[in-house]
């Protein structure tokens, strides 16, 4: 269970990292794709919080 959670987190962090790299690269151009990517990033952050086991 814990291992699966860690695997999920690692995958999500990797996604977020590439997302942020793209975001930083394209921000100066004011690219519309960048805005879409930013939305995807925030979704990934939400997904990351879903990876960790719920604390009751």
The confidence score (pLDDT) of residue 14 equals 82
Q: Collapse the DSSP code of 8 into the 3-class scheme (helix H, G, I; strand E, B; otherwise coil) and give the result.
A: helix
- The span from the CA of 16 to the CA of 9, in Å, is 10
The confidence score (pLDDT) of residue 52 equals 63
9-56 pLDDT, tens digit per residue, is: 788 778 777 777 776 666 665 566 666 766 777 777 777 676 666 554
pTM of the model: 0.43
The confidence score (pLDDT) of residue 40 equals 72
Instruction: Say which residues have a Cβ less than 8 Å from residue 27's Cβ, sequence separation at least 6.
Output: 34
- Confidence label for 8 from pLDDT (cuts 50, 70 and 90): confident
The confidence score (pLDDT) of residue 23 equals 66
């Amino acid at each position: 269970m814990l291992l699966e959670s860690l695997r999920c987190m690692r995958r999500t962090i990797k996604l977020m990292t590439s997302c942020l790299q793209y975001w930083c690269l394209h921000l100066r151009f004011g690219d519309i794709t960048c805005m879409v990517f930013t939305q995807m990033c925030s979704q990934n952050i939400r997904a990351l919080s879903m990876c960790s086991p719920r604390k009751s």
